[in-house]
A = this chain, B = another copy of it.
Amino acid sequence: MKPYEPSGPLQPWPRRSSEPLGDYHIFSVRRDVASSPRTGRDHSFFVIDAGQWINIVPVTDDGQIVLIEQYRHGVQEFTLEIPGGLAEIHEHDLAEAAGRELLEETGYQAREIVSLGACHPNPAMQSNLCHFYLGRDCRQVAELELDAGEDIHVVLHPIEHVPELVASGRITHSLVLAALYRFMLSAHSA
Protein backbone atom coordinates (compact mmCIF):
# COMPACT_ATOMS: atom_id res chain seq x y z
CA MET A 1 0.00 0.00 0.00
CA LYS A 2 1.46 3.34 -1.05
CA PRO A 3 1.84 5.84 1.83
CA TYR A 4 -0.56 8.78 1.67
CA GLU A 5 1.17 12.08 0.95
CA PRO A 6 -0.44 14.98 2.77
CA SER A 7 -1.16 18.15 0.82
CA GLY A 8 -0.78 20.25 3.98
CA PRO A 9 2.31 21.34 5.93
CA LEU A 10 2.51 18.29 8.20
CA GLN A 11 5.67 16.61 9.44
CA PRO A 12 6.24 13.06 10.74
CA TRP A 13 6.71 12.72 14.50
CA PRO A 14 10.21 11.44 15.37
CA ARG A 15 9.91 8.40 17.63
CA ARG A 16 12.01 8.66 20.79
CA SER A 17 11.44 5.25 22.37
CA SER A 18 9.34 2.09 22.23
CA GLU A 19 8.62 -0.21 25.17
CA PRO A 20 6.81 -3.60 25.03
CA LEU A 21 4.00 -3.75 27.60
CA GLY A 22 1.99 -6.93 27.05
CA ASP A 23 1.91 -10.04 24.85
CA TYR A 24 -1.51 -11.60 24.21
CA HIS A 25 -0.70 -14.33 21.69
CA ILE A 26 -2.73 -12.86 18.77
CA PHE A 27 -1.55 -9.30 19.45
CA SER A 28 0.86 -7.36 21.66
CA VAL A 29 0.87 -3.87 23.12
CA ARG A 30 3.71 -1.35 23.27
CA ARG A 31 4.12 2.26 24.40
CA ASP A 32 5.87 4.60 21.97
CA VAL A 33 7.06 8.09 22.80
CA ALA A 34 7.20 10.55 19.87
CA SER A 35 7.90 14.28 19.63
CA SER A 36 5.45 16.75 18.19
CA PRO A 37 7.10 18.62 15.29
CA ARG A 38 4.74 21.51 16.12
CA THR A 39 5.39 21.90 19.86
CA GLY A 40 8.61 19.91 20.31
CA ARG A 41 7.03 18.11 23.26
CA ASP A 42 7.03 14.33 23.81
CA HIS A 43 3.77 12.34 23.85
CA SER A 44 3.00 8.69 24.65
CA PHE A 45 1.01 6.49 22.30
CA PHE A 46 -0.18 2.93 22.91
CA VAL A 47 0.15 0.73 19.85
CA ILE A 48 -1.23 -2.76 19.15
CA ASP A 49 0.92 -5.03 16.96
CA ALA A 50 -0.59 -8.05 15.21
CA GLY A 51 0.21 -10.16 12.17
CA GLN A 52 -1.11 -9.36 8.73
CA TRP A 53 -4.86 -9.86 8.46
CA ILE A 54 -6.62 -10.98 5.30
CA ASN A 55 -10.17 -11.38 4.15
CA ILE A 56 -11.78 -12.54 0.93
CA VAL A 57 -14.96 -11.72 -0.99
CA PRO A 58 -15.91 -15.14 -2.39
CA VAL A 59 -18.17 -15.03 -5.44
CA THR A 60 -19.72 -18.02 -7.20
CA ASP A 61 -20.08 -18.28 -10.98
CA ASP A 62 -23.81 -17.70 -10.62
CA GLY A 63 -23.34 -14.33 -8.91
CA GLN A 64 -23.66 -15.22 -5.26
CA ILE A 65 -21.44 -14.17 -2.38
CA VAL A 66 -20.39 -16.79 0.17
CA LEU A 67 -20.88 -15.43 3.71
CA ILE A 68 -20.45 -16.96 7.14
CA GLU A 69 -22.40 -16.67 10.34
CA GLN A 70 -20.46 -17.11 13.57
CA TYR A 71 -20.41 -16.24 17.26
CA ARG A 72 -17.89 -13.49 17.98
CA HIS A 73 -16.36 -13.30 21.43
CA GLY A 74 -15.43 -9.62 21.37
CA VAL A 75 -19.10 -8.60 21.16
CA GLN A 76 -20.68 -11.85 22.41
CA GLU A 77 -23.07 -11.82 19.48
CA PHE A 78 -23.47 -13.49 16.11
CA THR A 79 -22.18 -11.74 12.99
CA LEU A 80 -22.49 -12.07 9.22
CA GLU A 81 -19.07 -11.82 7.57
CA ILE A 82 -16.87 -12.78 4.66
CA PRO A 83 -14.15 -15.33 5.49
CA GLY A 84 -10.91 -13.97 6.87
CA GLY A 85 -8.38 -14.09 9.65
CA LEU A 86 -4.71 -13.93 10.43
CA ALA A 87 -2.07 -14.88 7.88
CA GLU A 88 0.21 -17.45 9.42
CA ILE A 89 3.82 -16.45 9.98
CA HIS A 90 5.11 -18.66 7.15
CA GLU A 91 2.43 -17.52 4.67
CA HIS A 92 4.29 -14.95 2.58
CA ASP A 93 1.73 -15.22 -0.22
CA LEU A 94 -1.27 -13.51 1.32
CA ALA A 95 -3.56 -14.49 -1.56
CA GLU A 96 -2.84 -18.13 -0.65
CA ALA A 97 -3.62 -17.35 2.99
CA ALA A 98 -6.95 -15.89 1.85
CA GLY A 99 -7.64 -19.08 -0.12
CA ARG A 100 -6.82 -21.16 2.96
CA GLU A 101 -9.24 -19.17 5.15
CA LEU A 102 -11.91 -19.49 2.45
CA LEU A 103 -11.51 -23.27 2.31
CA GLU A 104 -11.32 -23.76 6.08
CA GLU A 105 -14.27 -21.53 6.92
CA THR A 106 -16.62 -22.39 4.04
CA GLY A 107 -15.39 -25.50 2.18
CA TYR A 108 -15.31 -23.36 -1.00
CA GLN A 109 -12.38 -22.87 -3.35
CA ALA A 110 -11.83 -20.03 -5.84
CA ARG A 111 -10.70 -20.55 -9.44
CA GLU A 112 -8.76 -17.29 -9.17
CA ILE A 113 -7.84 -14.97 -6.29
CA VAL A 114 -7.07 -11.30 -7.03
CA SER A 115 -6.21 -8.35 -4.80
CA LEU A 116 -8.81 -5.75 -3.85
CA GLY A 117 -6.25 -3.60 -2.02
CA ALA A 118 -5.76 -3.26 1.71
CA CYS A 119 -6.69 -1.07 4.65
CA HIS A 120 -5.44 0.04 8.04
CA PRO A 121 -7.68 -1.64 10.64
CA ASN A 122 -7.01 1.34 12.92
CA PRO A 123 -4.01 3.52 12.01
CA ALA A 124 -4.29 5.51 15.27
CA MET A 125 -3.37 2.53 17.42
CA GLN A 126 -2.69 -0.55 15.28
CA SER A 127 0.35 -1.12 13.09
CA ASN A 128 -0.87 -3.94 10.87
CA LEU A 129 -2.81 -4.06 7.60
CA CYS A 130 -5.82 -6.05 6.47
CA HIS A 131 -5.45 -7.23 2.87
CA PHE A 132 -8.58 -7.69 0.76
CA TYR A 133 -9.03 -10.36 -1.90
CA LEU A 134 -11.67 -11.34 -4.41
CA GLY A 135 -12.24 -15.06 -4.96
CA ARG A 136 -13.67 -15.65 -8.44
CA ASP A 137 -15.79 -18.63 -9.53
CA CYS A 138 -15.94 -20.18 -6.08
CA ARG A 139 -17.42 -23.63 -5.66
CA GLN A 140 -17.82 -26.00 -2.76
CA VAL A 141 -15.11 -28.68 -2.76
CA ALA A 142 -15.10 -29.87 0.86
CA GLU A 143 -16.85 -29.85 4.19
CA LEU A 144 -15.83 -27.19 6.71
CA GLU A 145 -12.52 -27.72 8.53
CA LEU A 146 -13.40 -25.95 11.75
CA ASP A 147 -10.90 -25.28 14.52
CA ALA A 148 -12.16 -26.48 17.90
CA GLY A 149 -12.68 -22.79 18.75
CA GLU A 150 -14.97 -22.13 15.75
CA ASP A 151 -18.63 -22.68 14.90
CA ILE A 152 -19.59 -21.44 11.47
CA HIS A 153 -22.67 -21.57 9.26
CA VAL A 154 -22.31 -20.74 5.55
CA VAL A 155 -24.97 -18.65 3.79
CA LEU A 156 -25.13 -17.49 0.18
CA HIS A 157 -26.65 -14.19 -0.93
CA PRO A 158 -26.96 -12.72 -4.43
CA ILE A 159 -24.28 -10.03 -4.93
CA GLU A 160 -26.97 -7.45 -5.61
CA HIS A 161 -28.24 -7.92 -2.04
CA VAL A 162 -24.92 -6.72 -0.56
CA PRO A 163 -25.87 -3.00 -0.42
CA GLU A 164 -29.07 -3.88 1.47
CA LEU A 165 -27.19 -6.21 3.88
CA VAL A 166 -24.85 -3.28 4.61
CA ALA A 167 -27.43 -0.46 4.73
CA SER A 168 -29.73 -2.47 7.03
CA GLY A 169 -26.91 -3.05 9.53
CA ARG A 170 -26.86 -6.84 9.14
CA ILE A 171 -23.18 -6.74 8.18
CA THR A 172 -21.35 -4.87 10.96
CA HIS A 173 -17.65 -5.86 10.93
CA SER A 174 -15.66 -2.80 9.83
CA LEU A 175 -13.07 -4.87 7.93
CA VAL A 176 -15.84 -6.71 6.09
CA LEU A 177 -17.59 -3.43 5.23
CA ALA A 178 -14.30 -1.96 3.97
CA ALA A 179 -13.59 -5.02 1.78
CA LEU A 180 -17.13 -5.02 0.38
CA TYR A 181 -16.90 -1.31 -0.44
CA ARG A 182 -13.67 -1.90 -2.40
CA PHE A 183 -15.31 -4.92 -4.07
CA MET A 184 -18.47 -3.01 -5.07
CA LEU A 185 -16.38 -0.11 -6.43
CA SER A 186 -14.13 -2.49 -8.42
CA ALA A 187 -17.15 -4.42 -9.73
CA HIS A 188 -18.84 -1.23 -10.95
CA SER A 189 -15.67 0.01 -12.66
CA ALA A 190 -14.96 -3.35 -14.34
Mark A65-94 against chain B: 1 for CB-CB distance below 8 A, else 0.
000011111111111100000000000000
**Contacts A74-B48, A78-B6 given: A1-B172 contact, CB under 8 Å?**
yes
Q: A residues engaging B (CB < 8 A)?
A: 1-13, 15, 21-22, 24-27, 29, 31-32, 34, 36-39, 41, 43, 45-48, 69-80, 117-127, 130, 146, 148-149, 151-155, 163, 166-167, 169-170, 172-175, 177-178, 180-182, 185-186, 189
Smallest CB-CB A-B distances: 9 pairs: A8-B153, A72-B123, A177-B178, A45-B73, A6-B69, A181-B181, A75-B123, A24-B46, A22-B22
- Interface pairs (25), CB distance under 8 Å: A1-B172, A2-B169, A4-B80, A7-B153, A9-B153, A12-B71, A13-B71, A13-B151, A15-B76, A21-B24, A24-B29, A24-B46, A25-B46, A27-B46, A38-B146, A45-B74, A47-B73, A74-B124, A79-B120, A130-B174, A167-B185, A167-B189, A177-B178, A177-B181, A181-B181
